[in-house]
Amino acid sequence: MEQTKIPLCQEAERSLIKKYRKTLWNPFIAGVKRYSLVEPGDKIAVCISGGKDSIVLAKLMQELQRHTESPFELVFMVMDPGYNPENRQKIIDNAALLEIPVTIFDSDIFAVTEVVDRNPCYLCAKMRRGFLYNKAKELGCNKIALGHHFSDVVETTVMGLFYGAQIQAMPPKLTSKNFEGMELIRPLYCVHEDAIIAWRNFHNLSFLQCACRFTEARDAANDGIGESKRQEIKQLLKTLKVGNPNIEKSVFAAIHGVQLDTMVGCKFRGYTYEFNDLYGRNSLGETD
């Protein structure tokens, strides 16, 4: 008797809690619980860029919604910042293939950032955030979920230290300053990028890259880095892992246990403290 072939979507969903349980499902649940990212009654807008990270996030959130005892709602938003028709269609096709009911809306972000020479990636990220918050609030959501993962957290921390002259991490959740009642969450906070890549490759799936002129320049470079500082840090960490396989875990652990007693300065809740301000104090707090 011929065995019925399981549809790709069901196969991909099943693998999240079976084959990739230890590397995807368990770290995902650990992050959600550790940082209290999902609460009963939440209406969460899962933001989908079309890349591997946001698609895995969408599927994991669907699985969580099916298995949780604390009900919450999901909507799946796709913001088109100016993709060409082929890239837009790729997102639509992948969403249909994996049964993710997306809501698509347009913006002019690529058109704006293409004529900016200074910090275009920062401007792009800031504009994206604003558009996503605004649309999510319009849809009645109280949270937006982004696909930043463990590897993003580590790379951002190292990049800030090397190029931003600051020890600054990427927190698992943030309260919006400009959109009242809105919160940003990162449910993939404990999920390694390698696990996401393994899941994608196992199912022979193909997802969208950033598709802006800066990543095109990176992809055209022979070293795979181009002018991307993030790619440079990614390659550096990969090299360092050869001699120290736990280097990323060490960075991740470090941002959870910052020793403020050893710092010669810090910023806390809008206040800047220099060494002389901190020396001899028992606690941080508002200045007189």
Confidence grade of residue 280 (pLDDT, cut at 50, 70, 90)? confident
In tens, the pLDDT along 214-228 reads 565 555 544 445 567
Residue 271 and residue 139 in one domain? no
Question: What average pLDDT is seen over the chain?
Answer: 89
What pLDDT does 220 receive? 52
What pLDDT does 224 receive? 47
Handedness of CA 30, 35, 37, 38 (dihedral sign): positive
Residue 23 and residue 92 in one domain? yes
What pLDDT does 111 receive? 77
Residue 103 and residue 16 in one domain? yes
What pLDDT does 115 receive? 66
Q: On the CB side of 169, how many CA atoms lie within 13 Å of its CA? A: 19
What pLDDT does 124 receive? 79
**Is 174 part of a structural domain of the chain?**
yes
In tens, the pLDDT along 116-145 reads 666 677 777 888 888 999 999 999 999 999
Provide the domain limits for residue 190.
8-257
The encoded tokens of residue 265 equal 């300065």
**Is 66 part of a structural domain of the chain?**
yes
Residue 264 and residue 244 in one domain? no
Residue 287 and residue 222 in one domain? no
In tens, the pLDDT along 238-260 reads 999 999 999 999 999 999 999 98
Phi, psi of 50 (to 5 degrees): 100, -5
Residue 125 and residue 40 in one domain? yes
Whether 198 and 20 have beta carbons less than 8 Å apart is answered as yes
Residue 219 and residue 266 in one domain? no
Is residue 13's pLDDT more than 60? Answer: yes
Residue 106 and residue 204 in one domain? yes
Residue 165 and residue 287 in one domain? no
Q: How far apart are CA 167 and CA 27, in angstroms?
A: 25
In tens, the pLDDT along 88-117 reads 999 999 999 999 999 999 888 887 777 666
Handedness of CA 168, 170, 172, 175 (dihedral sign): positive
What pLDDT does 34 receive? 98
- What is the value of pTM for the model shown? 0.90
Is residue 32's pLDDT more than 90? Answer: yes
Residue 202 and residue 276 in one domain? no
Residues in the chain: 288
**Is 171 part of a structural domain of the chain?**
yes
**Is 50 part of a structural domain of the chain?**
yes
Region 27-41 average pLDDT: 97
